A and B are shown apart, each in its own frame.
Chain A
């Protein structure tokens, strides 16, 4: 039974994937069909399945936030029942925020008074973590690449200081950012794009385990 279910879901994934990709690649461009009579109608019809399916995705994704909140509550109710104090705080905060929002007719001042300062404090902590991580990198990667990472980071940091004496460092920093860093970033993005295409094709063909069951 499970095997049949897996086969069905793989077939649905394949059909939906192929319909969407063909619709996106071939639709809405009459020139692709030689611009002859009826080609506009054909291009419009080909674009329709893609439009419909993408709108469905938008609706499902918007609804998934409800699933997320339900999961958050479910996890923390279980933890609070086992005596986790922080989970009890999460649940109490959730209930109080809902009560505040409803009783004050959409007032978000509580969110701004608590959430924003906490996130700002975390952002400051993030800066410290990053600095510490940069300082410790040579402990983790004691090789030429770790050294290069630190040297480039120091040059870019020094180059961002607005001092006339550091003008040559700024020029070097600008060159580093414009040529080697940009080239490296493009190479990484290109690799990610290729990987995304292969993963997308695997999903499109219903070969992914998520669809095979």
Chain B
């Protein structure tokens, strides 16, 4: 594919996404039209943690990890800022100001703004904390688990294998955790060690789960539409490849099989 064609496709992809986002937001903000979200165990635990945080006056710990504003982690940082805003607002009856940590210095102003906006009581200046990256980040957070005694840890952003140290520290202190990373190594560690885990695009769907105005629901719907299109396209291409290689198959059979697969996918997706 030459550069011009690639650019045209890119422009089309962005334009279609813009149209889909606006359309989904239009429908999702209307009362009665809001779609039901898939149930994700990790999100369902958050209200319990915020309630416990209020009752015990222990802070929640929210971390962006290495998600960096201005770099590849910008979308993750922005999505998590939205998610953290909603979590912090849920815990605003507590006397313990939540702690927001990050290892990318450019994310510090975003973290501070999120905390200040969601936590109207003030006293947030020292609660958004930059910590040097990688193992130093893990070491510092593990040490602060004894000092600040967070009620729970929500580690959502960009993490590598060093996430294991933080999650192991949290496990040993009986502090529950939710983890997700946009890096594969961090994601594998999160799956193995976190109490609750989000996977892949659920990192970006997070704002939609606590959103009250329906806009987040709309964004999640757009994600689902793109994902369904990609799965359907990949399934059809796979079947066409089979049809090319196996003489017994024909186009009608392939299309029928593709339709059955898509219907099954939709059925199971709705059941989940």
B81 at the interface (CB under 8 A from A): yes
A198/B21 contact (C-beta < 8 A), A29-B7, A132-B168, A185-B184 known: yes
Distance from B72 Cβ to chain A, minimum over Cβ atoms (Å):
9
Whether the Cβ atoms of A68 and B138 lie closer than 8 Å is no
Q: Which A residues lie within 8 Å of B21 (CB)?
A: 198, 201-202, 205, 207
Contacting residues of chain A (66-91) with chain B, CB-CB under 8 angstroms: 67-69, 71-72, 74-75, 78-79, 84, 86
Q: Which residue of A lies closest to B71 (CB)?
A: A61
Determine which of A32, A132, A199 lies in contact with B204 in the assembled complex, contact meaning CB atoms within 8 Å: A199
Whether the Cβ atoms of A134 and B108 lie closer than 8 Å is no
Q: Which of B79, B132, B134, B139 has the most CB of A within 10 A?
A: B79
B45-53, B122-130, B249-257, B259-267 - interface stretch: B122-130
Whether the Cβ atoms of A203 and B147 lie closer than 8 Å is no
Size of the B side of the interface (Cβ < 8 Å), in residues, is 75
A129 at the interface (CB under 8 A from B): yes
Whether the Cβ atoms of B191 and A149 lie closer than 8 Å is yes
B8-16, B30-38, B55-63 - interface stretch: B8-16
A157 at the interface (CB under 8 A from B): no
Whether the Cβ atoms of B184 and A189 lie closer than 8 Å is yes
In the complex, A187 Cα to B195 Cα: how many Å? Answer: 23
Q: Which A residues lie within 8 Å of B205 (CB)?
A: 195
Q: Which A residues lie within 8 Å of B131 (CB)?
A: 72
Interface of B is mostly: helix
Distance from B66 Cβ to chain A, minimum over Cβ atoms (Å):
12
Apart from A192-B203, A197-B14: 12 A-B pairs, beta carbons within 8 A:
A60-B106, A61-B71, A64-B106, A72-B131, A79-B147, A188-B199, A189-B184, A194-B204, A195-B200, A198-B226, A199-B78, A199-B204
A residues with CB within 8 A of B: 21, 25-26, 29, 31-32, 57-58, 60-61, 64-65, 67-69, 71-72, 74-75, 78-79, 84, 86, 118-119, 122-123, 125-126, 129-130, 132-134, 136-137, 140, 149, 185, 187-192, 194-205, 207-210, 213
Closest 3 CB pairs of A and B: A195-B204, A68-B105, A191-B200
What are 18 A-B pairs at a CB distance below 8 A? A29-B7, A31-B4, A32-B7, A60-B106, A61-B71, A72-B131, A75-B126, A122-B162, A123-B135, A129-B167, A133-B193, A191-B200, A194-B227, A195-B200, A197-B17, A202-B219, A208-B78, A210-B113
